A = this chain, B = another copy of it.
Amino acid sequence: MQKYGGSSVGSIELIRQVARRVIHTRAQGHEVIVVLSAMGDTTDRLLDVARSLSERPSGRELDVLLATGEQMSVALMCMALAQGGCRAKSFTGGQVRILTDGLFNNARIRHVDGGPIAGELGSGCVPVVAGFQGVDDAGNVTTIGRGGSDTTAVAIAAALHADECQILSDVDGVYTTDPRMVAEARRLDRITFEEMLELAGQGARVLQLRAVACAGRYNVPLRVLSSTADGPGTLISYEEPDMEAPVVSGIAFNRDEAEITVTQLPDKPGMAHRILAPVSNAQIEVDMIVLNAPRGGRVDFSFTVHRADYRRTMELVKREVAGLDIGEVLGNDRVAKLSVVGMGMRSHAGIATTLFDTLARNGMNVRMISTSEIKISVLLDEQHLERGVRSLHAAFGLDKDASPQAVRHA
């Protein structure tokens, strides 16, 4: 199973290049199923056209329109494969058939009928499947949301029990942190689904969160690879018994955060819900949520939202707490989140200490902290982000030229 992203099929020449790679993979004795995104920025261009007709285009018709992008890719890829002497057959989401619910623009895959694809594979043909799309029970065309082609690939790989689902794009693997920020960032040979979920969720946009979650659920090994260069990429799988996890695998960050704090809330049941309800009703996604232990019957309650939602959230919260017996509503939209992720953190106590120590020694104030089993996230002033990532990358030894397996538990 190989999934190629939009930038890998952005031109006729790139399509030819991918066709050669598919033919090469088959020549090595592998059966290949190809899943494709739309060419380059096709989806964005189609969205622009739709928006020029209507501010709020019908969800159903938008999906009918967007689905044409991937349909073009698969038809052209089959022509390129045939030109290279390789039998190939395209499949739309409806032809596969990828059955989804009826939530247009953001449908969930319910079932994949691997039969038609398996039949083609068996006859020595390369099935080329349009990513991102499906059909609902009524036969309507649906799309499964941004980056959905990754999820299409994983769902088909799961249905057909593929050995591996390769995600090929202009990124050659998963790195310890963003190489554009830290020159010493290293490509990881392997990483677990859990770590990848935390890294992807924290802004390392290599893979769609949904695709990783789906791959984890069905235990489909994922491999992130460059579509143009050679190299093993990064394998994403479950932790294997003989695979000792590194303490810290990577550092993710996200600049577009905004922080809102309501001080001196009465320590009564339901207060947090009361403040967050209007926010989530307005379809605003809340990320970190922190509630301090109460002092004198009062608590400070903080949470973060995407920076674009900051003003709207402030208004909603202020309206909600008007008349309530609270301190004040504080906000800051110049903050950034930094997350340290690693399976080894489960059984390793010193990580938080190293983290806070490193930040403090570099004069950086931590505004919020939130932790999970394999992750510690901190909110910093935006201006400190870059220095924070660099100093922690060094402090956790991520810049050492060694496979992550070499960083053993203490």
Q: From the candidates B15, B60, B82, name the one contacting A58 in the complex (CB within 8 A).
A: B82
- Do B67 and A79 touch across chains, with their CB atoms under 8 A apart? no
Q: Which of B49, B58, B79, B89 contacts A50 (CB 8 A)?
A: B79
Flag the segment in A69-77, A234-242, A340-348, A365-373 that touches B.
A69-77
For residue A191, CB closer than 8 A to chain B, the reply is: no
Among the listed B60, B74, B76, which residue makes an inter-chain contact with A49, where contact means beta carbons less than 8 Å apart?
B76
Q: Is A402 an interface residue (CB 8 A)?
A: no
List residues of chain B with CB within 8 A of the CB of A58: 78-79, 82
Contact indicator per residue, chain A 51-92, by CB within 8 Å of chain B (1) or not (0): 011100110111011011001101110111011000001101
Q: Which residues of B contact A83 (CB under 8 A)?
A: 53-54
* CB–CB A76/B90 < 8 A: no
Q: A58: shortest Cβ distance to chain B, in Å?
A: 5
Decide yes or no: A71 and B74 within 8 Å by CB, A58-B79, A89-B60 being known contacts: no
B79 and A75: CB pair below 8 A?
no
CB atoms of B90 and A64 under 8 A apart: yes
A76 engages B94 (CB within 8 Å): no
Q: How far is the CB of A4 from chain B (nearest CB, A)?
A: 16
Query: Which one of A74, A78, A92 has the greatest number of beta carbons of chain B within 10 Å?
Result: A78
Q: Which of B53, B64, B79 contacts A53 (CB 8 A)?
A: B79
- Residues in B whose Cβ lies below 8 Å from that of A64: 71, 74-75, 78, 90, 92
Q: Is A254 an interface residue (CB 8 A)?
A: no
Number of A interface residues, CB 8 Å? 35
User: In the complex, what distance in Å separates the CA atom of A304 from the CA atom of B83?
Assistant: 36
Does A20 interact with chain B (Cβ within 8 Å)?
no
Taking a contact as CB atoms closer than 8 A, the residue among B52, B53, B72, B141 that contacts A65 in the complex is: B72
Residues A61 and B78 in contact, CB atoms below 8 Å apart: yes
- A145: min CB distance to chain B, Å: 18
Q: How far is the CA of A67 from the CA of B95 in the complex (A)?
A: 14
Q: Indicate if the CB atoms of B75 and A12 lie closer than 8 Å.
A: no
Interface centre among A12, A50, A62, A72 (most CB of B within 10 A): A72
Nearest chain B CB to A81 CB, angstrom units? 9
Distance in angstroms between the alpha carbons of A134 and B149 in the assembled complex: 26
Question: When chains A and B are docked, how far (Å) is the Cα of A141 from the Cα of B91?
Answer: 10
| Interface residue A384 (Cβ < 8 Å from any Cβ of B) | no
Q: Give Cα A49–Cα B57 distance, bound, in whole angstroms.
A: 29
Contact between chains at B72 and A68 (CB < 8 Å) = yes
Cα–Cα distance between A36 and B139 once the two chains are bound (Å): 20
Bound CA–CA A341/B334 (angstroms): 79
* A318 located at the interface, meaning its Cβ lies under 8 Å from any Cβ of chain B in the complex: no
Does the CB pair B71–A67 fall under 8 Å?
A: yes
In the complex, what residues of B have CB within 8 A of residue A75's CB? 50, 61-62, 64-65, 68
Closest Cβ of chain B to A123, distance in Å, is: 14
A16 interface contact, C-beta 8 A: yes
Bits for A333-363, please: 1 = Cβ < 8 Å to B, else 0. 0000000000000000000000000000000
What 9 pairs across the A-B complex have the smallest Cβ distances? A65-B75, A68-B68, A64-B75, A61-B78, A61-B75, A54-B83, A57-B79, A54-B79, A53-B79
Using A64-B90, A65-B75 as known contacts, list a sample of 18 further A-B pairs with CB atoms less than 8 Å apart, ordered by residue number in A. A12-B52, A16-B53, A49-B76, A50-B79, A53-B83, A54-B79, A57-B82, A61-B79, A61-B82, A61-B90, A62-B75, A62-B79, A64-B75, A65-B71, A65-B79, A68-B68, A68-B75, A95-B139
A-B contact pairs, 23 of them (CB 8 A): A15-B53, A46-B72, A49-B76, A50-B75, A50-B79, A53-B79, A54-B79, A54-B82, A54-B83, A57-B79, A57-B82, A58-B79, A61-B90, A64-B74, A64-B75, A64-B78, A65-B75, A65-B76, A67-B71, A68-B71, A68-B75, A71-B71, A94-B94
